Amino acid sequence: MLANYMQIVGSIGLAVVPVFIWGYVFYLKKPEKRRIMFITFMAGATSVFPILFYKYLWQFFPWINVFRYTQAFNDDYIGFSRIVEIPLSIIITFVIVGVIEEFMKNVAVRISASDEFKNIDDAIQFSIIAALGFAFTENIMYFYNIWMHQGAIDILTPFIFRSIFSTFAHIMFSGIFGYFYGIAHFAEPILRDQLKTKKIDSFFELLYRWKIKDADELFKKVSIAKGLFIAASLHAVYNIFLEMNWTFILLPYLVIGYIYLNYLFDLKNNRKIIEVRSNC
C-alpha cells in the first residue's frame, strides 16, 4: 500500500516538472490572471476523464467504440512507395484521437476562460494552459503505468521524452487551435474589420452583399472547424511518426511548430484589444 502511494506521488511529482518548465516559458510571453490560469489548467487536467469514461463504456457498449470500425481498413495503405507505406486504419485512428483530444481541450478553455479574452493572444495562451493541464494528467497515467509494470529504473527515458516532446506537442496543437478559436470568439468585429480593409474571403464578402444575417455565425463556425481540422491533423501526424518509429522527424517537426506558435503570438493584430465580443 505504501509502495503504491509512493508511485502515485512520484508520478505526480514527475508530471509537475514539464508543467512548470513549459508553463514558465509561455507565461513570459503572455502573463494572465493566475486564478483564471489555475482554473483553466484544472479544466484541461480534468478534460481527460470524459475520454477515459468513454473508453470504460466500451466494455458495456462495444458498438460505441469508433476505433472498431477502423479495422476494416487494415489492409489498405497510403504511401508513395513500399518504403513509405502507412496503414489507412492507423491514419483514421489517429485523426479520430486528434479530434477527440483537441475538442476536449477546447471545451476546457470555453468553460473556464473564454469570458476573459481581450484579444486573440489570450485565446492562444489559455489554450496552451489547458493543454498543459491535459498533458499533466496524461503524463501522470503514463509514468504511473510504467512505474507499476516496469519499475522506477525504466521511467527516465519516457520522462525525458514526454517532458520535452509530448507535452510540447499538446501545447503546439492547442495553441494553434486557440488562434482560430480566438478568431471565432471575436467573429463579428474581425469580420467587420476585414470588410473595411478588403482582406476577406470572397465567400463571406458575397454573404454580406446578399445581406445574410448569419454570416457572423458561419464565419465563427468555419474558423472553429478550420482550427480543429488543423490541430487534429497535426496531432495525427505526430502520432503516426511515433507509431511508425520515425522519431528522427519529431525534433524538426516540433521546432517548426514552436516557431509558428511564436509567430502567432507576435502578430500585431493578435495583440490588439477587441472590445466587442462574439458569443462563443
More confident of the two residues 88 and 136: 136
For the chain, give the mean pLDDT: 85
24 has a pLDDT exceeding 90: yes
Q: Which grid cell is 136?
A: 499533466
pLDDT of residue 221: 83
Average the pLDDT over 42-57 and give the result: 94
Give the lowest-confidence range in 22-36, 226-240, 264-278: 264-278
Q: What percent of the chain has pLDDT over 70?
A: 84
Length of the chain: 280
pLDDT of residue 163: 93
Give the lowest-confidence range in 22-26, 84-88, 139-143: 84-88
User: Rounded to whole angstroms, how far apart are CA atoms 44 and 112?
Assistant: 9
All residues at 6 or more sequence positions from 198 whose CB lies less than 8 Å from its CB, including other chains = none
More confident of the two residues 269 and 23: 23
Q: What percent of the chain has pLDDT over 90?
A: 51
Q: Which grid cell is 222?
A: 468555419
- Inter-residue contact 86 to 93 (CB < 8 Å): no
CA 154 to chain CA centroid, nearest Å: 28
Q: Which grid cell is 137?
A: 494528467
Identify which of 97-101, 267-271, 276-280 has the greatest average pLDDT. 97-101
Kindly state the DSSP code that residue 208 receives in the 8-state scheme: H
Taking the chain, what is the end-to-end CA distance rounded to the nearest angstrom?
A: 46
pLDDT of residue 259: 95
Range list of β-strands (E), 3-100: 77-79, 85-87
211 has a pLDDT exceeding 60: no
pLDDT of residue 276: 52
User: Rounded to whole angstroms, how far apart are CA atoms 26 and 261?
Assistant: 10
User: Rounded to whole angstroms, how far apart are CA atoms 102 and 125?
Assistant: 15
Cβ atoms within 10 Å of 222's Cβ, excluding its own: 17
226 has a pLDDT exceeding 80: yes
pLDDT of residue 210: 47
**Angle, nearest 10°, between helix axes 215-243 and 202-209?**
160
What is the domain partition of the chain in residue ranges? 2-271
pLDDT of residue 154: 84
pLDDT tens digits for range 145-198: 998 888 778 889 999 999 999 999 999 999 999 999 999 998 878 777 766 665
**Ramachandran angles phi, psi of 272, nearest 5°:** -65, 130
User: Rounded to whole angstroms, how far apart are CA atoms 237 and 231?
Assistant: 10
pLDDT of residue 68: 81
